[in-house]
Amino acid sequence: MEKTGSGFYIIDAFSLRQASKKPFHLEKRFLNSGENDMATTTTSLEEAEIKREALLQERREKLSRKFLEVQQVVKQAQARKESQRRVFQQSLQLAELKRKTHIEQRRAASKELVERAKVIARQNSLRFEAEQARQRRALQDRLERSEARRLHMLSQPKSRILVTGTTPIASSHSRKKKKKPSSATSSSTTRCIIGVVTESDNGDGATLSRNVKAAVDKKATCDQHASSSSSKHQSMIGTTKKKKNDTWKNVRNVFYNLSLPWSTQASTWIPFNELVVLLRNRRVIQVIGKLLRMLLNETDKDKSRKWSRVLLSAYMMTICPCEVFQDMHAPQEQQLLAQAKQFLRQFELVLESNPEATPGSAARSHFEESWNAYYALFEAWKAKDMKQLVANMSSYCIELIRLKETLGQDDITVRQQLDDQIQQTKDRIRHVGGPSALEQLAETENAITSSTEQQQQQQPISVPPSPTPRPERLDSQQEQQQQQQQPMADDELKQMLSGYTHEGGISNHQLAHEIIIEPEFKLQKQSSALEDHIRKIATRAFFDRVAEDIKNGHSEESLPMLMDDVKQRLLNLLRQGTSVYNQVDEGIDIALITQEAKQNTFDLDRTLQYVVHIMSQICAPVRDEAIRAIGEMDDPVQRLRAILETLDEMALDLSNFRLRSLRPHLIPIAVEYERSKFAESLSNNTVGLARTRAWLQQAVRRMNEVATQRNPEGVPTPTPTLRADAVFEDAFITLLTSPQIIDATTCPETLAMDVDRMRVYQNEIQSITIVAALVMLAKNFGHTGDLNELTKKLFIMLQDPSTTIDNLASEIERTVQVSPERKPMIRAMVDKTVSHSDTVYSLLMRRVGSVIRGQLQSGKFATREVLLSYGLEYVRKPLESLSTRVAILGRHHRQVYATWYDDIIADEIKAISSS
């Protein structure tokens, strides 16, 4: 340590230096801090570079994606433009094709018209040339006759020319006309005059004058012996001859102007409809009649008018044989067709070759021979059709007569209508078949009148009883009216329907109801699967026993009984008194069959063949094939079995035919008959109106709630808001569109006879709604095919009881052609759509009910625009058919039960108004 001059001490601190680490630490820290800053700076730059590259890469990728998207959009736009261009090109090609086709059709039509015009022009040219040639020949003939007369007059003495005057001309004219009576008269007169002149002519002029005067007086004396009528007749003959030549020329020219087709030129033929219109023209018939009168020397206009129609029929046969003949390949039709063609050729030849042909010419002779042959064949062919027509009209008249006998004397109006129809039919039969056909019909009518069928007792109606029967009484006036009307309806229905109820196993009441509701109603055998199986086994065992008896020689035990059954069934199909009835009654003798069976001499095959022959004569055309098959069977037992089964079917055919004939006469009395029967059931406490009352009361409350919601302010209306018709229609449609199944225990009593029918209608409504919903679903999923085909397939699938939701979904998937990822969605949507709780299903069900209600109210089906707006355009046909049937059923029930319906509805409206 040293002391300085300033008072300070200097200490050597180097030796005192310790490793306090602080200075060193700071230095080191600063040194390390610089290194760390450099390292940090380096790391930050690298990270920044990396981030920059990442950012740039991201932007490059983004730009690349945008570029690809732009390219894709450009390609799509180009593709759309190309597609539009192709569509436009295809449209242009299609338009060009249609234009060319149209032009080609126009060209072909124009060509055809030109060809026809050429043909007509050629015909007119030929006719003009023929007319010119005829006129030239006539002029040449006149010149020759004039020259001959001039030379004849020059060769005659002057005295003879002065006396006879125009005698040579008259003689020549008479020779040209070739009329024997007039020629004889003229020649006798000429001979008289010439004789006088010859005797007195001595060359003296005075004597010649006296002789001329005497000759004139002598001629007058001769003329006095001829009657004035003969002179007038000769004058008329001369005038008629001149007019006849003019008429033939005019009529032939008019015929050519009619433009009728020529049989030898197929290019002039026209279609059937145009040909019918042309040949029915009165002018054509008149011209043809005049030509035939001239060619055949006929003066009767009525006969020529008939002949003209026969001739025009030849045009029909030649040009349109398929439309004229039912079987143009039959021998008679072929012969008639060939003769018609030959006759038309002769007719055209006689017109073209020599229009003024005389009766002795070859053309006229060939024409007359051809006409006689054609006319005979035509009349024979017409007679065959007339016989068939007479037979059909006679059958119809017999059915009307039998219907009149069935009605009895109760309904005078219906009987009067039937009498009018029978008389009209008889007049037609007399006009077509003559008196002989009426005589046969009169015999049949007498037989029917003498053997009217007996009435059968009416079977009681089966109405399911009400669980809470409450008969509704009518007031005394209504009861008296119904008691007065009921016997008439009962008697009429019993008479009309007697003999038919046992065929179908139903009562008169049910039968009348079915005939009114179902226009195509047919009686059918009532059976079940079990009954059919048991009947089949029993029938097989029975006929096996019959075969065994025949084989063992004991046919008398079974065959007489069976043949008697066959006989009775045949007789039931025939009318008593007819020749066929008597023939069957006498031809199948059961006593004789029994004796022959005991002696083993009965010819079963021959008898069965006779039965088959009778069946083939009286059966409906639909049974011809079955009866033909029976006739070809070898086993007589199987043939007998088939005969019995076919006779049952023929009995049903006959009953159904008679029911169709009865339907127009049942309609006026069926409503009153059903009303009286229901009133009788109410009075007997066999049926009540509890369910009907509840059904209508619900409809009144429902409609009242809707009316209240539409008028929340309670504004009074001038007219009642609820009508009985509207309430019934709403209740009826609501019952049909309800998801609950309609059955006999819940259905209103008034609809008891139609429970099965309404259940069918309900199923049809649900099917239509489901199909409409599925079609709408397929349309929303992009279905591009034919939706009508899809609709048909869906209806067919719904008719199959084994169809499931998966089947419907599979059909939708197949038609829509969606990706596999969307198939579960379709299945879910189908499952949801066919559910009754689905919104779309409920909406479409209400729309279907609205369409049916409109048909029930107005009697008219909804328009196409309405169906299109409702989404029901693809189910139009089944919906229209169903609406028509439901409307018929609803209107009939409204008419029958209006009295009870109106009372129930009025009581409920009054109760609501008072509450």
Per-residue model confidence as pLDDT tens digits over 393-433? 777 777 777 666 665 555 566 667 777 778 877 877 777 66
Instruction: Provide, rounded to the nearest whole percent, the portion of the chain with pLDDT above 70.
Output: 70
The two structure tokens encoding residue 309: 């129609």
Q: Which of 443-447, 610-614, 627-631, 803-807 has the lowest mean pLDDT?
A: 443-447
Would you state the pLDDT for residue 716? Answer: 62
Q: Can you give the residue ranges of every domain in the chain?
A: 184-229, 240-356, 453-687, 691-914
Would you state the pLDDT for residue 2? Answer: 66
The two structure tokens encoding residue 473: 């009484």
Q: Which of 40-44, 160-164, 323-327, 885-889 has the lowest mean pLDDT?
A: 160-164
Most confident of 186-190, 192-196, 326-330: 326-330
Would you state the pLDDT for residue 760? Answer: 92
Q: Write the pLDDT tens digit of every residue in 607-631.
A: 888 899 888 888 888 888 888 898 8
Would you state the pLDDT for residue 412? Answer: 62
Would you state the pLDDT for residue 879? Answer: 94
Query: What is the average per-residue pLDDT within 367-384?
Result: 80
Would you state the pLDDT for residue 223? Answer: 43
Strand runs labelled E in 702-820: none
The number of beta carbons lying within 10 Å of the beta carbon of residue 228 is 9
How confident is residue 453, by pLDDT bands cut at 50, 70 and 90? Answer: very low
136, pLDDT greater than 80: yes
Q: Write the pLDDT tens digit of every residue in 214-267.
A: 443 444 444 444 444 444 444 444 444 444 444 666 777 777 778 788 887 778
Would you state the pLDDT for residue 557? Answer: 79
SS (H, E, C) 662-697: HHHHHHHHHHHHHHHHHHHHHHCCCCCCHHHHHHHH
Query: What is the average per-residue pLDDT within 159-186?
Result: 40
466, pLDDT greater than 80: no
Whole-angstrom distance, CA of residue 725 vs CA of residue 225: 98
362, pLDDT greater than 60: yes
Would you state the pLDDT for residue 770? Answer: 92
Would you state the pLDDT for residue 698? Answer: 92
878, pLDDT greater than 90: yes
How confident is residue 481, by pLDDT bands cut at 50, 70 and 90? Answer: very low
SS (H, E, C) 122-179: HHHHHHHHHHHHHHHHHHHHHHHHHHHHHHHHHHCCHHHHHHHCCHHHHHHHHHHHCC
How confident is residue 470, by pLDDT bands cut at 50, 70 and 90? Answer: very low
Give the C-alpha distances (Å, rounded to integers) separating 144 from 138, 405, 603.
10, 83, 90
540, pLDDT greater than 60: yes
The two structure tokens encoding residue 729: 């229609």
906 and 727 Cβ atoms separated by less than 8 Å: no
Would you state the pLDDT for residue 111? Answer: 87
390 and 365 Cβ atoms separated by less than 8 Å: no
592 and 560 Cβ atoms separated by less than 8 Å: no
Q: Which of 47-51, 125-129, 409-413, 438-442 has the lowest mean pLDDT?
A: 409-413
487, pLDDT greater than 90: no
Residue among 508, 549, 517, 577 at smallest CA distance from 636: 549
Q: Which of 194-208, 289-303, 821-835, 890-904 has the lowest mean pLDDT?
A: 194-208
The number of beta carbons lying within 10 Å of the beta carbon of residue 425 is 19
Most confident of 163-167, 405-409, 890-894: 890-894
Would you state the pLDDT for residue 731? Answer: 92
Q: Which helix (H) or strand (E) holds 3?
A: strand 2-3
Whole-angstrom distance, CA of residue 100 vs CA of residue 872: 39
How confident is residue 204, by pLDDT bands cut at 50, 70 and 90? Answer: very low
Q: For 506-573, give the DSSP string.
A: --HHHHHHHHHH-TT--------HHHHHHHHHHHHHHHHHHHHHHHHT-GGGTHHHHHHHHHHHHHHT
541 and 631 Cβ atoms separated by less than 8 Å: no
Higher pLDDT, 507 or 467: 507
Would you state the pLDDT for residue 74? Answer: 92
Q: Write the pLDDT tens digit of every residue in 692-720.
A: 999 999 999 998 888 887 776 665 655 45
Query: What is the average per-residue pLDDT within 784-791?
Result: 80
730, pLDDT greater than 50: yes
Query: What is the average per-residue pLDDT within 519-527?
Result: 67
40, pLDDT greater than 80: no
Would you state the pLDDT for residue 35? Answer: 56
Q: For 340-367, give the DSSP string.
A: HHHHHHHHHHHHHH-TT--TTSHHHHHH
The two structure tokens encoding residue 905: 């509805």
Q: What is the mean pLDDT of the chain?
A: 75
How confident is residue 650, by pLDDT bands cut at 50, 70 and 90? Answer: confident
517 and 888 Cβ atoms separated by less than 8 Å: yes
742 and 758 Cβ atoms separated by less than 8 Å: yes
Residue among 356, 208, 233 at smallest CA distance from 294: 356
Would you state the pLDDT for residue 197? Answer: 34
Residue among 306, 321, 478 at smallest CA distance from 375: 306
Give the C-alpha distances (Å, rounded to integers) separating 853 from 701, 884, 887.
19, 11, 8
Instruction: Provide, rounded to the nearest whole percent, the portion of the chain with pLDDT above 90.
Output: 10
Whole-angstrom distance, CA of residue 699 vs CA of residue 691: 12
Q: Which of 233-242, 665-674, 871-880 has the lowest mean pLDDT?
A: 233-242
Would you state the pLDDT for residue 378? Answer: 83
Q: Which helix (H) or strand (E) holds 822?
A: none
Residue among 348, 286, 370, 371 at smallest CA distance from 127: 348
Q: Which of 149-153, 359-363, 632-636, 798-802 has the lowest mean pLDDT?
A: 359-363
Burial profile 451-473: b = 16 or more Cβ within 10 angstroms, e = fewer: eeeeeeebeebebeebeeeeebe
Give the C-alpha distances (Å, rounded to integers) separating 643 from 538, 575, 653.
17, 20, 15
Q: Write the pLDDT tens digit of every residue in 756-778.
A: 889 999 999 999 999 999 888 88
